[in-house]
Structure 1
Amino acid sequence: MNSISAECQELKQKYDECFNKWFSEKFLKGITKDDCKDLYNVYTACVKVKQLL
């Protein structure tokens, strides 16, 4: 799925890749520490800035 902001698409792809790997390799095995938190924060900050413009 694409980002709601084209300028943030690359960040979303990086976050999605990180999340999918974390979910399948760690979360489903009981490891709940979110390794993708920083990428998520950067992506959501990008989206918020673009919504203001």
Structure 2
Amino acid sequence: MTQRQNPNYTESISSECTKLRLDYDNCFNKWFKDVFLANDGENELGNEKICEPEFNKYHECLFKAIATIDEESSTSATDSDGKPRGLMESIKEAEKEVLEFEKKK
């Protein structure tokens, strides 16, 4: 799927991650259409790991890109330039909160 084929398509945060994002999106959309929407209610879908390899590759690429943005912004950004500050720290804090929430379930 390319930008021309899907007018709602947007680039990933990093150009290196764009193909990985498309791989994950295509996998998930295929599963959603062919499995989830086709489910007649008789079979439970369970807790299967949908497109986990594609998601993990994309996730890893995103974290590398965010770490690079953090490094660049911490060494060259000023308050007035509008670059993101501490993005990786915010993501790590959010992940901790999600893990704590899941532990309480």
TM-score by length of 1: 0.82
- Shift in CA distance, 31/25, structure 1 to aligned 2, threshold 3 Å: farther
Kept after mapping to 1: 8 A contact 2:14/2:62? yes
In structure 2, which of residues 49, 66, 79 is the aligned counterpart of residue 34 of structure 1? Answer: 49
Kept after mapping to 1: 8 A contact 2:11/2:18? yes
Q: Which amino acid aligns with 2:20?
A: L
What is the RMSD computed on CA atoms of the aligned residues? 1.5
In structure 2, which of residues 64, 73, 80 is the aligned counterpart of residue 49 of structure 1? Answer: 64
- Per-residue deviation, residues 7-52 of structure 1 (Å, max 9, x unmatched): 1001001111111000010012153533411100110110001111
TM-score by length of 2: 0.45
| Long gaps (5+) in structure 2 | 1-9, 69-105
Q: Which structure 1 residue ranges, 4+ long, deviate > 4 Å from structure 2?
A: none
Q: Distance in 1 between matches of 2:25 and 2:32?
A: 10
Larger radius of gyration: 2
In structure 1, which of residues 8, 11, 14 is the aligned counterpart of residue 23 of structure 2? Answer: 14
| Long gaps (5+) in structure 1 | none
* Aligned residue number for residue 4 of structure 1: 13
Higher fraction of helix: 1
